[in-house]
Structure 1
Amino acid sequence: MAAAEGREEEMSGNGEPEESPAMETSEDSAPPPAEMTEENGGGGGVVLEPPKGPDPASFTMPAATEDGDGEIPADFERLWKAAHESPHDFSSWTDLLQYCEQETHVTSSRRALKAFLLRYPLCYGYWKKFVDLERRAGNNDRAEEVCIEGLQAIPLSVDLWIHYINLLLGTLNMNLPESPSRIRGVFEDAVVAAGLDFHSDRLWDLYVEWEKEQGNMKNATAVLDRVLKVPTQLYNTHYDKFKEHLNGHEPKEVLCPEEYEELRALCRQSQKAERAEQAQEAEEERPPGEEEPATPEGTDTEELMQKIREQVLVHRDKVYQDNEGEVRKRWHFEEAIKRPYFHVKPLDRVQLRAWHTYLDWELAQLHADTRDPTQEPTQATTEESEAAAQPREASQEAAVPRDDHRVRILFERCLIACALYEEFWTRYIQYLEVQSVDEVRPAYRRACGIHLTSKPNIHMQWATYEERNGDLTEARRVLEVLEKNVPGLAIVRLRRAALERRAGQLDQSEALLTEAVAESKERPTLHAFYSIKLARLLLKLGRDRSRARRVLQEALEISPENDKLYMNLLELEVSGDPRASAEAVQECVTRALAAPLTSHAKILFSERGLQFAEDYNNSIQSVLSAYEEHQKLLKEVGGTKREAENGDEDPEKLSKSEESSAVAESVAEATPTTPHVPITTPPPPVMGADASAQAGYAGYSSWYQQPQYGSYGYQSSWNYNQGYYPPS
């Protein structure tokens, strides 16, 4: 891991040298034969429990010295403060950790590691450093606790499992009868959690060797039998080790009693038949009067042992061949993955595509395995097989069968390397969603609570999920946490207000928007935006026209040049009783024409006032007066708006304007920039809300289709420049 960009080539993102990545490749690895092709096929496995990462909310500044190891180093507080002032700056954390390691100060190192691993729990190398720190300090129990906590955060880490096992081997009293059982239990937990990983060979080898050291040859055989069925990088070496194990011991010592007796009986029967045939031939050739030499009954000769070994290998060879086929299918996918461990450095497009393609294939394998093997292939299934390498929609991934262990393992592996990418978390959650609420929520908690704390899309997806499943309290909490993490993101405040409105809490919805209006007075554009939202809520749902008018008028005091505020105020006035609102409409138009607006905007306001007069005024004189004022404005601005004859706009233009009106109701979400965290795809639009005001609401005008104002429905249905009224 690098403390700064200049040192990134020295250390990986896990606290290990780059030459020793999370999953090392051995020189003994043998790639599959050249004739290998991609074939459909699955594989057995075990269900991987979702990792339980540390709770970031539990972090507090630890107290002073805990172990009496002297004063805190001089620069610790400075580096500590720098890391917490810029929590997303990875190099500030690594600078702190490197300093603590150099100073060899237990308390400060413990503080730094705790705080760091709350934010980056997938850095397995730092969990190992933490364990070693506690062990050197003589805190073996605490070292074990750290190991367990690390494995809860990253259960697929083969390195961390091996580190934990070595810790136990070095600290447990192996003379106690319970110690071997405990070690064996940890080995079992390890192969259940990480044994299906393509790079888990070292863990399996360690398990086999430990059983041999304990003198449990049958147990070693059982472990070898299990790994022979797992497609791993060094699959061929496991078969070689099985042969060596079998040939180095008597079959009775390495085989379970049932298999040994079965093969022994089979081989003795075969041997007896061969001997009978040989005896008959020898009888014919033996000189008269000479008898056959006697053979002791029940003796297991070396020849019989060799026959048993041959039969054992006949059975295992079929397993090996099947497993080799599974390795062939996965080999080129695995070779395409260059960084299987976590790092804050962005992955390139090739790597992201490699993970997507691998997931596509594994999902296709899963669905292919669930088909009836006796069913004849149809055109539809053929087309589905051809499309297996293409990205699959969430609806296609929804038909999840029970035996989906390999898919889950691959998703979990992917979410180590791609933990900072929303797209992979979203895809995994879509896959899990058909299972149960209990499986989806932990995934959301890991994504939003640890890795994507400042990414709004996935937080809002989580809030939507909770609301859809009836947990409004959790939905509120998710949005509140997001707004705290990313302050000033308008879409989040709008989502909160909408949630309360849908829950029937109109007062709370209004309160949230009112608070947003009050807090944004120093940012006029954002203040105008929230004021418009609040006024619409008061007018359309609260039926309080006077309060809505007051909100817009107060906003105009702060932003007198904001044409959208004038347009919304005008819409409010014209939507009332025309017999009572004529004066208010005229006052609004007059105020807009006197404001520092663009010439085109003033023409639109004048046209709207003239249209209202034409439609609703009771006096022709008032209509003519409005018309003359409009003509005067046109001359002042130095041009007229050319329109179609008879006042009817081009139908194609009207259609485009209506389409623009629909677009104006969609959202362009603003995502705050997090250091080192790339945004690989633009977020999808969220209908029914407006976007963030980060950086002054830069895209605000385009959402309202300025200068056409299509979103307000103001279309000039009459041509006021054609002289329909005679000049006065």
Structure 2
Amino acid sequence: EGGEMGRKEPETVFERGLQSIPLSMDLWIHYISFLQSTLDPGDPESVQKIRGVFEAAVAAAGMDFRSDRLWELYVEWERAQGELRAVTALFDRLLSMPTQLYSHHWERFKEHVLHNPPRDILTPEELLWLRSKLAAEPLPKEPEPGAAEEQIRELVISMRQQIHAQNEAEVGKRWNFEEGIKRPYFHVKPLERAQLRNWRDYLDYELAAGSHERIIVLFERCVIACALYEEFWVKYTRYLERHTVAGARSVFQRACGYHLPRKPNIHLLWAAFEEKQGESPETAPNRPETHPETPKTPQNTPKAPQNVPKCSQNTPEALLREAAASTPAPPLASFYAVKLARQVLKVQKNLIKARKVLVEALDRDPENARLYANLLEMECGADVRQNEGNAMSCFERALRSGLPDEAKVVFSQRRVEFLEDFGSSIHSLLTAYDEHQKFLKQRAARKRPPENG
């Protein structure tokens, strides 16, 4: 009910789902089944629509070792359309594809050849070439009626036999790796060490084999099962950096925006990647475009996450600010603040701006000794004749805070040393010295054991 308008909404949902999980065989099969049940089978446009979805499915997921159900569904659909030549063409693609049921496909192909007339399953060009090849071979005796067709069938199968043998060898190389994948889906429960090692070894094997398309598909499978493991995202981005900037940026966006928002290392690598590109804010894209060398799968052309703030500029400062702003946990936000302050100070040479970053971070996280230490390092690194007041303010703030006694003693000692070396007032030095002795006595009193043991 509702016709085309009633079909559009679920179709849109399917397409959005396949953008997010294009390696899901179940989702592709359900989508195709939905189209078959809602489109008019007698309409040529419906046939073209379904064939187009099948092609999109095998382009996105057909290289998955466990994609056999999808290929079989495509073959049977073309057979139901009466397109036997299209079935042959599909088998020609599938017979060179290392998949779990490779042997089953080979047997089905031979049945297809033996149970159908050659003129129905072969293109006119291939049929003509096979007949000319047979005519060129001397026959021992006059052929019987129908013998030519049998010879053509035998030749068709023998020509594919070598392809099947090579594919069988490729399957054999991957079989143990595939057997080692016990959990191909995502789960928050940690993976066993053997599983992680198997993914590392499998990726290294495909990287050494050198097929870009197979490498991409395996990485995509890996980051589903290992979505919470930073090392695999890093390995993926490092591979893509050598091939496509847009593809690498896409993976960084997925890793940092969806799966690892609180992992600092991957965010810093993204910032370094963008800095290396040397792009200005005007030319840096907000989201990736598909690169010609990268398979046109939805993972490589994702839409910006709706629940993650978009970064208007892919610059190191902007990325670090976004990471700090979108991280609720104070320790991690403070980590990003330190990195941002250093970037602003060292690259932009802006002490005032860097100081503001750390002071704002201290307002949110007032008991973080690392923030005080970094602020003090910045203040003491400036011209001490002009910056003595700011350095002293930093000392005072640390000593008035809720830091542990041990940390306060360290800051108090550094204050005395700073005034000894750079202080402009002997009165300030003597006052700091007296307060330092008080800190030492307070710490000793707290550490003193009870008199009664």
Whether the TM-score (by the shorter chain) exceeds 0.5 is yes
Deviation at 1:599, TM superposition (A): 5.0
In the alignment, which residue of structure 2 is the partner of 1:211? 78
- Aligned pairs for 1:262-341 (under 5 A) are 262-270=129-137, 273-275=139-141, 301-341=145-185
CA distance in 2, matches of 1:268, 1:558: 97
Q: Work out which of the residue numbers 304, 317, 340 in structure 2 matches 1:476.
A: 317
Q: Work out which of the residue numbers 430, 441, 450 in structure 1 matches 2:258.
A: 450
In the alignment, which residue of structure 1 is the partner of 2:339? 495
In the alignment, which residue of structure 1 is the partner of 2:377? 536
CA distance in 1, matches of 2:276, 2:413: 36
CA distance in 1, matches of 2:219, 2:370: 41
In the alignment, which residue of structure 1 is the partner of 2:355? 510
Q: Deviation string for 1:310-362 (max 9, x for gaps)?
A: 11111011111010000111111100101112222221111111111111222
CA distance in 1, matches of 2:399, 2:181: 57
CA separation of 1:347/1:441 partners in 2, compared to 1, >3 Å: closer, same or farther?
Answer: same
Deviation at 1:533, TM superposition (A): 2.7
Unaligned runs of 5+ in 1: 1-133, 279-294, 367-402, 601-728
CA distance in 2, matches of 1:554, 1:208: 73
Q: Deviation string for 1:642-697 (max 9, x for gaps)?
A: xxxxxxxxxxxxxxxxxxxxxxxxxxxxxxxxxxxxxxxxxxxxxxxxxxxxxxxx
In the alignment, which residue of structure 1 is the partner of 2:241? 433
Q: Work out which of the residue numbers 199, 205, 227 in structure 2 matches 1:419.
A: 227
> Does the 8 Å CA contact 1:196/1:409 hold for their aligned counterparts?
yes
CA distance in 2, matches of 1:139, 1:469: 46
Unaligned runs of 5+ in 2: 282-312, 446-453
CA separation of 1:406/1:498 partners in 2, compared to 1, >3 Å: closer, same or farther?
Answer: same
Deviation at 1:170, TM superposition (A): 0.9
> Does the 8 Å CA contact 2:68/2:99 hold for their aligned counterparts?
yes
CA separation of 1:518/1:331 partners in 2, compared to 1, >3 Å: closer, same or farther?
Answer: closer
> Does the 8 Å CA contact 2:227/2:259 hold for their aligned counterparts?
yes
> Does the 8 Å CA contact 1:482/1:492 hold for their aligned counterparts?
yes
> Does the 8 Å CA contact 2:113/2:157 hold for their aligned counterparts?
no
Q: How high is the sequence identity, in percent, across the aligned residues? A: 40
Please tell me whether residue 351 in structure 1 is matched to residue 195 in structure 2.
Answer: yes
Q: Work out which of the residue numbers 536, 540, 550 in structure 1 matches 2:393.
A: 550
Q: Deviation string for 1:441-470 (max 9, x for gaps)?
A: 110111111111222221222223223434
Deviation at 1:531, TM superposition (A): 3.4
In the alignment, which residue of structure 2 is the partner of 1:486? 328
In structure 1, the residue corresponding to 2:139 is in which secondary structure? Answer: helix
Deviation at 1:308, TM superposition (A): 0.7
Matched residue type, 1:572? F
Deviation at 1:583, TM superposition (A): 5.0
Matched residue type, 2:268? M
In the alignment, which residue of structure 1 is the partner of 2:305? none
CA distance in 2, matches of 1:448, 1:504: 28
CA distance in 2, matches of 1:232, 1:520: 53
Q: Deviation string for 1:193-241 (max 9, x for gaps)?
A: 1111101111111111111111111011000111000010000111111
CA distance in 1, matches of 2:99, 2:392: 70
In the alignment, which residue of structure 1 is the partner of 2:432? 588
CA separation of 1:242/1:559 partners in 2, compared to 1, >3 Å: closer, same or farther?
Answer: closer
Q: Deviation string for 1:540-566 (max 9, x for gaps)?
A: 125401221133124323459411220
CA RMSD of aligned residues (A): 2.8
Deviation at 1:597, TM superposition (A): 4.5
In the alignment, which residue of structure 1 is the partner of 2:286? none
> Does the 8 Å CA contact 2:323/2:336 hold for their aligned counterparts?
yes
In structure 1, the residue corresponding to 2:393 is in which secondary structure? Answer: helix
CA distance in 1, matches of 2:34, 2:101: 25
The structure that is helix-richer by fraction is 2
> Does the 8 Å CA contact 2:234/2:266 hold for their aligned counterparts?
yes
TM-score by length of 2: 0.83
In structure 1, the residue corresponding to 2:330 is in which secondary structure? Answer: coil
Matched residue type, 2:355? E
Deviation at 1:590, TM superposition (A): 2.2
Matched residue type, 1:563? V
CA distance in 2, matches of 1:191, 1:559: 60
Deviation at 1:407, TM superposition (A): 1.2
CA distance in 1, matches of 2:107, 2:401: 80
In the alignment, which residue of structure 2 is the partner of 1:179? 46
CA distance in 1, matches of 2:39, 2:165: 40
Deviation at 1:581, TM superposition (A): 5.6
Q: Deviation string for 1:554-608 (max 9, x for gaps)?
A: 432345941122022123213327xx565544432222112245459xxxxxxxx
Q: Work out which of the residue numbers 13, 17, 39 in structure 2 matches 1:150.
A: 17
- Aligned pairs for 1:211-230 (under 5 A) are 211-230=78-97
Larger radius of gyration: 1
> Does the 8 Å CA contact 2:261/2:327 hold for their aligned counterparts?
yes
Q: Work out which of the residue numbers 406, 410, 419 in structure 1 matches 2:214.
A: 406
Q: How many residue pairs were aligned?
A: 406
Q: Deviation string for 1:373-432 (max 9, x for gaps)?
A: xxxxxxxxxxxxxxxxxxxxxxxxxxxxxx422111111111111111111101111111
In the alignment, which residue of structure 2 is the partner of 1:52? none
> Does the 8 Å CA contact 2:330/2:364 hold for their aligned counterparts?
no
Matched residue type, 2:360? E
CA distance in 2, matches of 1:520, 1:410: 42
> Does the 8 Å CA contact 1:362/1:407 hold for their aligned counterparts?
yes
Q: Deviation string for 1:268-307 (max 9, x for gaps)?
A: 343x6323xx6xxxxxxxxxxxxxxxx9xxxx93111101
Matched residue type, 1:511? K
Matched residue type, 1:273? L
Matched residue type, 1:576? F
Matched residue type, 2:361? A
> Does the 8 Å CA contact 1:268/1:304 hold for their aligned counterparts?
no
In structure 1, the residue corresponding to 2:100 is in which secondary structure? Answer: coil
TM-score by length of 1: 0.52
